[in-house]
Amino acid sequence: MSKVSRVDHIAYAVEKGMIEKWAWYHIEVEGGKLTKRVDDVRPDDPDSSMKLWCIDFASFGVVLVEGIDRNKKSQVTAFADCHGDHSVQHIAFDTENLEQFVSHAISKGVNLRGQQLVSNDGFGELKQLFGKGYAKQNAAEMSFPEYVERPKQGASMSTSVPPNTGRNFYQRIEHARNTGDTSTLIDFSLMPSDWAPESKPVAAPGNVSQACAREELAPA
């Protein structure tokens, strides 16, 4: 059974001076709606900060982040320098129950970047938790997953986890970057050596297995 249900949002790191242009693209070309605009998430930080704009598409969201460099280069600037303008910094996946998912993930050896948080990210209230980078690379330059849980049917989030001011996660990446922590999301040595995917794909009309089969048959 799938443990993540859908893409909640996609976060793109954009180059300096590009957030307005990409917001125009997502709003005027794709039809999204700006739901949150923060032009400096860390106004008191002498080192660095970022702009953060959220664009809602109802069934998922787009987050644009643009670095603000001061005494130091912002981690977002570093990411865009490394991967290019409008590059995917992270994709967030929705879970039915974040605590249950986290317990399951940890049992498989998944490394998360700190504790889960409660926040309001421009698409509404949520519980969220970030994974470490997919590959062993500078934490500022490596993409990672986020896992979230949204309140069901308008219910408020009943949890004792600490609130996220929008700064905590930025600080966690900064800490990893400053300390040279390049530890990764998953240690594949923990993967069973005899693991193999189930060999019998489910053959429902229009499902992913059939889509994959069609792609395989399509002429190059």
Q: Which stretch binds Fe ion (CB under 5 A): 36-44, 81-89, 145-153, 177-185?
A: 145-153
Query: Helix or strand or coil: residue 42?
Result: coil
User: Residues near 80 by Cβ (< 8 Å), separated by ≥ 6?
Assistant: 13, 14, 15, 16, 66, 67, 87
Distance of CA 203 to the CA centre of its chain: 31
Hey, CA dihedral for 47, 50, 75, 186, is it positive or negative?
positive
Does 146 interact with Fe ion (rule: CB under 5 A)? Answer: yes
Region near Fe ion per CB under 5 A, out of 14-22, 50-58, 84-92, 132-140: 84-92
Taking CA atoms, 68 is separated from 45, 99, 188, 189, in Å, by 10, 34, 35, 38
Question: Minimum distance between the CB of residue 92 and Fe ion, rounded to whole angstroms?
Answer: 5
Question: In the complex with Fe ion, which residue's Cβ is closer, 45 or 61?
Answer: 61
Binding string, 39-78, against Fe ion, x = CB under 5 A?
----------------------------------------
Interface with Fe ion (CB under 5 A), residue total: 3
What is residue 85's DSSP assignment?
T
Nearer to Fe ion, 18 or 91 (CB): 91
What is the nearest approach in angstroms of Fe ion to the Cβ of residue 87? 15
Q: Which residues inside 8-37 make contact with Fe ion, applying CB under 5 A?
A: 11
Candidates 177, 1, 147; CA nearest to 77 is 177
Name residues contacting Fe ion, limited to 85-124 (CB under 5 A).
92
**Least gap, CB of 41 to Fe ion (angstroms):** 13
The backbone torsions φ and ψ at residue 209, rounded to the nearest 5 degrees and listed phi first, read -60, -40
As measured in angstroms, the least distance from the Cβ of 210 to Fe ion is 32
The CB-of-50 to Fe ion minimum distance in angstroms stands at 12
Residues binding Fe ion (CB under 5 A): 11, 92, 146
